[in-house]
Amino acid sequence: MKKSALFLAGGWDGHQPHETAALFSALLAAQDFECETALTLDVLLDSARLSRLDLIVPVWTMSALPAEHCRNLQAAVHGGVGLAGWHGGMADAFRDNTDYQFMVGGQWVAHPGNIIDYRVDISNHTHPITAGLAGFAMHSEQYYMHVDPHNQVLATTTFDGAHAPWIAGTVMPVAWTRQWGAGRVAYCALGHVLADFDVPEAREIVKRGLLWASR
């Protein structure tokens, strides 16, 4: 029986939500998933439908998440539906909703220097999401985030202070997992635009995160 994944694609267009959702929807389809992409958050009002899913993938930068929508999403994940995503589509979504941020385990706050060269280091070499991967270079936004210390961190990046001297040497999580009730949550801060996933390691971390989180 195929697994089911629901992508929520919308919000700020600068993160190319439709293009990136299409990429990972195709990658999941190749792993025998049945994928659907919703272009409205009102799909979250159908709690019975959500509870039957294996995975929900928010690709929805900024915007607002009404209280009932958030409660239904949290309940679905708490009941065992996986939640996974990347960059601002998952961790710069719904900035005023701390209940959502509590579930995700972090929130974007800055990307000093905007598009820059930086390095991602693998900090957990045994987790299925990062096993066998080595550190790699990125040319994109280096996310500075507020993060939950309960997260299981899989990869990090270190700020050199070139664009904000007071954060020089700060080691920031790039990828993590966590639990929300019976549901698995996986996040990767990479993926500002579709072209970022031309970096094989970035694409692989997100793909593995989606697979790991699914029920």
Task: Provide the whole-model pTM.
Answer: 0.98
Q: Per-residue pLDDT for 202 more than 90? A: yes
**Per the structure, how many domains does the chain have?**
1
**Interval 152-175: pLDDT, tens:** 999 999 999 999 999 999 999 999
pLDDT in tens, 36-51: 999 999 999 999 999 9
Three-point CA angle 204, 208, 214, nearest 5°: 155
- Which residue segment(s) compose the domain that 45 sits in? 3-213
With a CB cutoff of 8 Å and minimum separation 6, the contacts of 107 are 91, 92, 95, 101, 145, 146
Task: Summarize pLDDT for 98-143 with one digit per residue, the tens.
Answer: 999 999 999 999 999 999 999 999 999 999 999 999 999 999 999 9
Cβ(205)–Cβ(129) below 8 Å: yes
d(CA 99, CA 20): 25
CATH number, domain containing residue 133: 3.40.50.880
Q: Is the pLDDT of residue 56 over 90?
A: yes
Give the pLDDT of residue 1: 83
The residue with tokens 């800055």 is: 110
Cβ 84 vs Cβ 187: under 8 Å: yes
What's the pLDDT at 67? 97
Share of the chain above pLDDT 90, in %: 100
Tokens 């994928």 belong to 35
- Amino acid in position 110: A
